[in-house]
Homo-oligomer: A and B are copies of this chain.
Amino acid sequence: MNKEYYQTVYEIITTGHWITDEITKALKEHGVTEPQYNVLRILRGAKGEPVTVGDILDKMVQRSSNITRIVDKLVTKNYVNRKECPTNRRKMDITITEEGIDILKQLDKKVHAFHQPFINKLDKEELNTLKSLIQKLKS
């Protein structure tokens, strides 16, 4: 009973995990983990504006205690800078470095290369149908 439901959910789960696993592997070749990659993207998205641990937390599902350690790693690699926020000494101002921007460009290329073979498997209408059906399933 409900065979179709479970088969479909299984497909969603395995596909979702497969994609992130493959991307994780691609990033690992550059010594960057997936959460580190996400933090770098958030920082770049801020366009030079400093971002706090709390800001990053809001955009990620991670616990804040681990954001600290993820940023530690990025600081060690010189991909980001971290300094005390001048207006609120509880906060940390985190910014991406030139080196961070550079590695991010390479990482994006890798991620894009992963998606390349799949990008045209479905046409626009099919993609929208797929997205809508998943959203309806969760509604």
Contacts and interface: CB of A to CB of B under 8 A. Distances in A.
Interface stretch (A67-75, A82-90, A130-138): A130-138
Contact of A137 (B4, B13, B122): B122
A3 to B, nearest CB: 9
Contacts of A136: 121-122, 126
A1 to B, nearest CB: 9
A102 interface: no
Contacts of A128: 4, 8
Nearest to A16: B16
Nearest to A128: B4
A60 interface: no
Given A121-B136, A121-B137, A14 B16 contact: yes
Given A5-B127, A115-B5, A129-B129, A15 B121 contact: no
A9 interface: yes
Given A12-B16, A16-B12, A16-B14, A130 B119 contact: no
A63 interface: no
A13 B19 contact: yes
A8 B130 contact: yes
A35 to B, nearest CB: 13
Contacts of A4: 124, 127-128, 131
